[in-house]
Chain A
């Protein structure tokens, strides 16, 4: 069996806030294998982005810090790696793209200048060579007339095109892992469809692994092979997607799947809901974090924290939905 590309163990990330220390990611473990696309899903505030940022050593410090655990990648622990070395790794081995491409692009430089800089930071290329590669890459991600577009500034591009440019920059050094954080959330559905198709195509072409961070289970179903569901800083379920959607085991996954509005032949009278709300990270219950909203709750759930055990499919739950 192939070795994992990335092995995360017991990762914990904390932030200092005025009200106290918040543990945004609390004991998260997972493996990512080469060339697979894995979805990281959950509602806002559950810790998806923080998880993604920690893989690239991008947790703002202060107020944040990695409070424990390890991130094994390419034979070393990224948690222990110096910032200088992380800078090497970012972009060349692991890249990240964000929801709002405008914040990641510098408005005062042309697309070309920014791409050439990234390329030359990681590869021994002349300016002319880097420019040729940049144009090539833009063509690859589906930007029409790339030789002309490369002279433009970020604001001259549409939202969908900016996201394509971000993808081109992120992929220009051939990373083995791409962390895509809500890459299509800010886009319209028709543009989202274009960009997702592009990411899928590039993933195969570049033979990289992708962690797709999203709150949209539809996006996961259409692009990922496997998914991890997060709730309140923990992964509560992981499974291959066919299994996850057909037989969710964690009551939270079940509730999430049920509450998505879908286009129906016959629309139901009411949408199923998950009652209540996500607990405050500063006042977490002692047992299962989903207990107060869970229909399957047992006495034990209120006292003990369920663990995620198992490799390919697992649910952190004392009373999972029947398989």
Chain B
């Protein structure tokens, strides 16, 4: 159980904001600002947060689709942030990505067979005949028949396109898949089909997922471990059962209470947060959440809280909030 596949340490990704006469760098957007996380082999880490909080940037920095500004990403103990292109190749194979928009992520001019064969050809996996066989098998894994092979993306529904995207990510037998909002664009009845597929792949093939979503209910269905992100930082993380049973951070609590519940008989006291998420270009001093926090105290405005295990919380459940100091 304690086979650590992925370790992220103090990961940072800043984007320069240019402006002025000479387009000099005037500021930094701290999209990811010092993130630590750990993912065991065969488990799913659910990363949740609102738009602009840095979820996608974090996912991309882990895959080195962005070069990180600082920190380490260890895959099976090797820091891949330091590898050159050549040395990175074998690691690239082991890490794949699934995107939010199944429309944009598939080439409209390629048939499904061509799309699925591409990574196999690129990495010269097996003989051509074996590659064809593998393509069929991949379609089968995601629940689509061989009839799909010679068709183009526009001939499929959103849910089917997402399955094709998943099949492509599986082509090279990855150990880690970063799935960035893979079901957000799908209708509920299709969304549940895709979520079940992700759960099956994790269970049957031992693939680890970093599953990014803004929907806490979706995250609960697939995750073993959960991290809540706000303004470039993880503000709470722990086992899914601990976080969902006893959320600690006021932001996590507000997120949970904001979800509309499909049960009209359930009376509820909702925590409605004031204001919007501040810009990561200009993060507030102290606790990044203090301007919206219903429980903010004086020290929250000046002192930055760090992730700590609150008294009584289970091992691994950590929160960055002064309420628990």
A interface residues, Cβ below 8 angstroms from B: 43-44, 158-161, 188-194, 196-197, 215-222, 241-242, 245-246, 255-257, 259-265, 267, 270-274, 277-278
Contacts and interface: CB of A to CB of B under 8 A. Distances in A.
A158 B244 CA distance: 29
A305 B319 CA distance: 56
Contacts of B265: 242, 245-246
Given A189-B255, A215-B187, A245 B263 contact: yes
Nearest to A268: B221
* Most chain A CB neighbours (cut-off 10 Å) among B160, B254, B263, B272: B263
B196 A264 contact: no
Contacts of A188: 50-51, 214, 277
A191 B51 CA distance: 11
Contacts of A256: 188-189
B159 A190 contact: no
Contacts of B50: 188-190
Interface string B210-251: 000011111011000000000000000000100011000000
B188 to A, nearest CB: 5
Contacts of B18: none
Given A189-B255, A197-B272, A245-B262, A274 B189 contact: yes
Contacts of B258: 189-190, 192-193
A259 B264 contact: no
B272 A193 contact: yes
Size category of the B interface is 35 or more
A216 B192 contact: no
Nearest to A215: B187
Contact of B196 (A219, A260, A265, A270): A270
B256 interface: yes
B270 interface: yes
B187 A221 contact: no
Nearest to A270: B196
B262 A218 contact: yes
Interface string B152-167: 0000011110000000
A43 B189 contact: yes
A43 B264 contact: no
Contact of B192 (A160, A259, A263): A259
A277 B157 contact: yes
B259 A221 contact: no
Contacts of A215: 187-188
Which of B51, B262, B263, B270 has the largest count of A CB atoms less than 10 A from its CB?
B262
Contacts of B105: none
Contacts of B255: 189-190
A115 B299 CA distance: 42
Nearest to B219: A261
B260 A272 contact: no
Nearest to A263: B217
Contacts of A197: 270, 272
In the A-B complex, the 10 residue pairs with the smallest Cβ-Cβ separation, listed nearest first, are A218-B260, A43-B187, A271-B192, A188-B50, A259-B192, A274-B189, A261-B217, A193-B258, A189-B258, A158-B276
Given A188-B214, A221-B261, A221-B264, A267 B189 contact: no
